[in-house]
Structure 1
Amino acid sequence: MVVEQIPGFDLVGLCARTKNENEADASTAQIAPLWEKFSTEAAPKFTGAPQIYGVYTNYESDHSGLFDIYACSDLLSTDMSEDFKPIHVQSGKYLVFSAQGEMPQTVIDLWGEIWNYFSSPDCPHQRAYTTDFEHYLSPNEIRVAISIK
């Protein structure tokens, strides 16, 4: 992991509101259906070489509260449905974690590593809970950037 100062940038995607507790139960999970909808509605309309992101923002409190999740990209065509909303990733200081492997298990494992890191009593960083994001660099490589104070 590495600390990076990341400039803000804009994306467009689909949004859902959820919390981690809901994601543990398939009947209340929002993230997997959101990505499924994104892949069926957005992917066929991509132009160029899009960058794919998952953005977490509008945190109610901390990792236990509600948050917005966006499945999004920097390049979407103009004929997307009204369900697609703009999202701004805030500039700031981020702690960036990286992993390679088969998706979605690699991203699930990486989030486990992130939660363990921040729950450690001697963790030198504190989450800001502003905007966090996943950047899918390739079909088997991901970076997760966590906003820190």
Structure 2
Amino acid sequence: MEPVRQHHGAFQVAGLTARTTNREENDSATARIGALWNRFFTEETYRSTPHRTEDARIFGVYSGYESDANGAFDLTVGVAVSGGKEAVGIEPGDYLVFTAQGEMPHMVIDTWQRIWQYFEANPTITRRYRSDFEAYDGPDKVAIHIGVA
């Protein structure tokens, strides 16, 4: 399934953040993303986040990129907010949107594999590496938004 190009305005997300790399995530001894998501749900961070908007989706925001897919990045797991000092900004611009539905976490892992394959097969499409995000409409449905030039 081909991604759909969409333009998004800026918005903010707040929650829990960890810094990691794709290499670290491929080793269970150094992986941080699964534990971050578990903490988010166990502590019910979505209930206690101040300045929450009416947007009911849960987000995984990738930002603070050191370089590209090989460098370090921040992942913020959270909810849309109207502001606050802990919020991370989603930059306005064009995004390629990859959608999937299925069992977690395999659905998301498979979709990220599809994303990397897509960009390998389409080298003329340039990722911005500024802000990318996963938007969850439920426990088994995701839309991953990749910022492009």
Say yes or no: TM over 0.5: yes
1:53: how far off? 0.4
1:68 is aligned, of 51, 58, 74, to: 74
User: Is the 2:55–2:80 Cα contact (8 Å) retained in structure 1?
Assistant: no
Determine whether 1:51 maps to 2:53.
no
2:29 corresponds to: 27
Residues 71 and 127 (structure 1 numbering): CA distance in 2 closer, same or farther, change over 3 Å?
same
User: Is the 1:4–1:93 Cα contact (8 Å) retained in structure 2?
Assistant: yes
Structure 2 residues without counterparts, runs of 5 or longer: none
1:38 is aligned, of 37, 40, 64, to: 40
Runs of 4+ in 1 over 6 A off after TM superposition: none
What letter matches 2:140 in structure 1? N
Identity percentage over the alignment?
A: 40
Secondary structure at the residue paired with 1:10? Answer: strand
2:9 corresponds to: 7
Determine whether 1:112 maps to 2:116.
no
Scaled by the length of structure 1, what TM-score is found?
Answer: 0.87
Secondary structure at the residue paired with 1:25? Answer: coil
Residues 44 and 142 (structure 1 numbering): CA distance in 2 closer, same or farther, change over 3 Å?
closer
What do you get for the CA RMSD once the two structures are aligned? Answer: 2.2
Q: C-alpha distance in 1, partners of 2:146/2:18?
A: 19
User: Is the 1:15–1:85 Cα contact (8 Å) retained in structure 2?
Assistant: no
Secondary structure at the residue paired with 2:109? Answer: helix
Q: C-alpha distance in 2, partners of 1:52/1:86?
A: 14
Aligned residues: 142
Q: C-alpha distance in 1, partners of 2:39/2:22?
A: 20
Determine whether 1:85 maps to 2:91.
no
1:79 corresponds to: none
Secondary structure at the residue paired with 2:87? Answer: strand
